Amino acid sequence: MLIRVPALVGLVLVVCFMNEQVIAQRPGINKDETKVPSFTLPELLKSNDGVFVETAEAWQAKRRLEVFDAMAKNVYGDVPKRKVNVDFKVISSWEIFNGAAIRKEVRIVFGDDPTNFATLLVTLPNTRSEVPCFLGYNFHGNHTTTDDPKVSITKSWVRNRESPSTTDNRANEEGRGTSASRWPCREIIDAGYGVATIYYGDVDPDIHDQFKNGIHPLFYEAGQTKPTKSEWGSIGAWAWALSRCLDYLEQDSGVDGKHVALIGHSRLGKTSLWAGASDERFWMTISNNSGCGGAALSRRKFGETVEVINRVFPHWFCDRFPEFDDRENDLPVDQHMLMALIAPRAVYVASATGDQWADPRGEYLSLYHSNAVFELFGDSPLQFKSPAADEPRRTQLRAYHLRTGKHDITAYDWEQYVQFGNLQLENSSAKPGVK
Ligand code: GTR
């Protein structure tokens, strides 16, 4: 019997997402704090040669590199060495909000084939000064983040949704504005920030096809057909492309390239954390409900586990990560190290009470367990006990909140991020919208 390839891919996806839902309710998944196993986290400050680093300089020059390497080789994968051309072109721009903001679409071409592109949607206050800017991926296409009829619709593969906003894995007009609540653009602009968003599937479609689509093949050496065991999966590729977005934003005269904050929800929060750890040009990193493989400590095995995430999403991490399925204690790293890699730049972790799958306590604890490194840079320590719901907690460089509600990114979350951004700018005596 002949099965057409698209039908087969569709079937695999349906099974994959059924699996995702079944697993969320599966009895074997622990959502009971008293059943969290006891564990010891890998030492942040102890170098591979056994010597403890004691200063910020030694962390930066020595231990940080070791931690980054271990995190890359075992979890997210290394970026391949091959160099790939990336070109930017502003393809359109127009005014919105009665002239209060300028919006533009920037085409980012990866490699030599001009049809291989992603579109960055940039919205900036219509001032003549450089502004700090949020940068983050969206899940379903730029046109879903706003009602603006001028925003183009991606032609890339998109996940089918229950609503009529997608047809055969292609986006359509019906999807326009359907995720606008996650992108409160007017409020962000009024606060003096710009906002840039890009559809993650333009970079690498979120479907496991053995890395044939998306940007991975551009990096293959002769004869190579998929990333090596320690090379990047999809999260690594998405994170790399955020750095290319920053390359563009640094050139945009309306953006203060030294104040570009990464923001990401869920799998895209995992991505923003890895991008913030990988590229020290990013100013601030925000993880919204990122969970397993993001902010949550893997060793807690609370909610989604390493084994589950690797089974359901085999393309997200590097091929070495599944070696630690149900063997979290053998992992040379844990996610507190991801937080530490961001120091001394600011990091914000947010959880939601209704999102136990992402392990809110574990998300807080990885921030807490990064104390040793942040303190080297003069940050105050976080206390062990998690804050109560809707009571954000901040140090100079780190912040956390547990929002009441479900797995989502809401106006409340954004308000906290903008406030934290303002505090960072005040501390560095730069103000939004002012050079
Ligand atoms: C879930 C997955 C999580 C999280 C989430 C999302 O199915 O288990 O790790 O990434 O998807 O991205 O919405």
Number of the ligand 1 atom closest to the C-alpha atom of 291 = 9
Q: How many CB atoms lie within 10 A of CB 159?
A: 15
* 144 secondary structure, DSSP code: G
pLDDT in tens, 105-122: 999 999 999 999 999 999
The predicted structure's pLDDT at residue 26: 57
Q: In testing the pocket of ligand 1, which one of 200, 357, 406, 408 has its CB within 8 Å of the most ligand atoms?
A: 357
> Which tokens sit at 233?
């999966």
Q: What contacts 24+ positions apart, CB below 8 Å, involve 38-47? A: 39/299, 39/300, 39/328, 39/329, 40/329, 41/297, 41/299, 41/334, 41/336, 41/369, 42/331, 42/332, 42/333, 42/334, 42/337, 44/336, 44/337, 44/340, 44/369, 44/370, 44/372, 44/373, 45/372, 45/373
Whose alpha carbon is nearest atom 12 of ligand 1? 267
309 CB under 6 A from ligand 1? yes
pLDDT in tens, 209-235: 999 999 999 999 999 999 999 999 999
265 CB under 6 A from ligand 1? no
Bond from prior residue into 392 cis (ω within 30 degrees of 0):
no
pLDDT in tens, 240-289: 999 999 999 999 999 999 999 999 999 999 999 999 999 999 999 999 99
The predicted structure's pLDDT at residue 334: 99
304 CB under 6 A from ligand 1? yes
pLDDT in tens, 90-104: 999 999 999 999 999
pLDDT over threshold 70, residue 136: yes
Separation in Å, CA 257 to CA 36, 104, 142, 248, 281 = 42, 17, 22, 9, 8
CA of 234 to the centre of ligand 1 (A): 14
Of 161 and 131, which is predicted with more confidence?
131
CA of 354 to the centre of ligand 1 (A): 14
Q: In testing the pocket of ligand 1, which one of 266, 308, 335, 407 has its CB within 8 Å of the most ligand atoms?
A: 266
Gap between the Cα atoms of 121 and 143, Å rounded: 9
Q: Which residues contact 407 (CB under 8 A, 6 or more apart)?
A: 266, 289, 352, 354, 355, 357, 358
DSSP for 244-263, written as a single string: HHHHHHHH-TTEEEEEEEEE
pLDDT in tens, 166-225: 999 999 999 999 999 999 999 999 999 999 999 999 999 999 999 999 999 999 999 999
pTM of the complete model: 0.94
User: Could you give the residue numbers annotated as active site?
Assistant: 266, 407
206 CB under 6 A from ligand 1? no
The predicted structure's pLDDT at residue 10: 44
pLDDT over threshold 70, residue 312: yes
The predicted structure's pLDDT at residue 434: 40
Number of the ligand 1 atom closest to the C-alpha atom of 265 = 12
CA of 20 to the centre of ligand 1 (A): 9
The predicted structure's pLDDT at residue 161: 85
The predicted structure's pLDDT at residue 22: 44
The SS3 of residue 223 is coil
CA of 267 to the centre of ligand 1 (A): 5
Number of the ligand 1 atom closest to the C-alpha atom of 312 = 8
pLDDT in tens, 371-422: 999 999 999 999 999 999 999 999 999 999 999 999 999 999 999 999 999 9
Gap between the Cα atoms of 356 and 387, Å rounded: 16
pLDDT in tens, 23-56: 455 567 999 999 999 999 999 999 999 999 999 9
Q: Which residues pair with 287 in a beta bridge?
A: 264, 349
Domain annotation for the chain: domains and CATH numbers: 7-427 (3.40.50.1820)
CA of 22 to the centre of ligand 1 (A): 13
**Residue 258 — left, alpha, or beta (φ > 0 → left; ψ -120 to 50 → alpha)?**
alpha
20 CB under 6 A from ligand 1? yes
pLDDT in tens, 13-26: 444 444 444 445 55
Number of the ligand 1 atom closest to the C-alpha atom of 292 = 9
pLDDT in tens, 298-311: 999 999 999 999 99
Q: Which residues contact 429 (CB under 8 A, 6 or more apart)?
A: none
The predicted structure's pLDDT at residue 429: 60
The predicted structure's pLDDT at residue 229: 94
291 CB under 6 A from ligand 1? yes
355 CB under 6 A from ligand 1? no
CA of 246 to the centre of ligand 1 (A): 25
pLDDT over 90 percentage in the chain:
90
